[in-house]
Amino acid sequence: MPRKVKFRKWHKGRKRGKGVAAVATEISFGSYGLKSLGHAWVTARQIEAARRAVTHFLKKGGRVWIRIFPDRPRTKKGAEVPMGGGKGAPEFFVAVVKPGTVILEVEGVNLVTAKEALTLASHKLPMKTKFLVKE
């Protein structure tokens, strides 16, 4: 969750499946990465679940970088609220992920360990992903 946002409530926008990532498309920090193959809104909880899965599998070895940040607020109206009455309160935050975005990076472990750890993380995410190795 960001410390401060300019506007509490954003327009929803559309996930029409257009466009590919312009930033974070290559591995920059680690040796291995997890790349998105589809569009998705990834919640802060999903990012944290993926991070926990990787760090738990790596135990004390290796280092993990998270390349996405949930800065987009999503609102929700309460249960049994009638039509009208305005937009709901901010409920959670999401990161907009496009195809080609590197989501996680890992370094300091061998190929087999990194692949297994990032596969566990991919099961926590709402889109298809691909394992990358830095050349």
Q: For 32-79, how does the pLDDT look when each residue is reduced to its tens digit (9 = 90+)?
A: 999 999 999 999 999 999 999 999 999 988 999 999 999 999 999 999
What are the structural domain ranges in the chain?
A: 32-73+92-133
Domain 32-73+92-133 has CATH 3.90.1170.10: yes
Cβ(96)–Cβ(113) under 8 Å? no
Distance CA 51, CA 57 (A): 10
What pTM does this model have?
A: 0.91
Q: Is the pLDDT of residue 12 over 70?
A: yes
The pLDDT of residue 6 is 87
The pLDDT of residue 17 is 66
Q: Is the pLDDT of residue 16 over 80?
A: no
The pLDDT of residue 18 is 75
Q: For 67-126, how does the pLDDT look when each residue is reduced to its tens digit (9 = 90+)?
A: 999 999 999 999 999 999 999 999 999 999 999 999 999 999 999 999 999 999 999 999
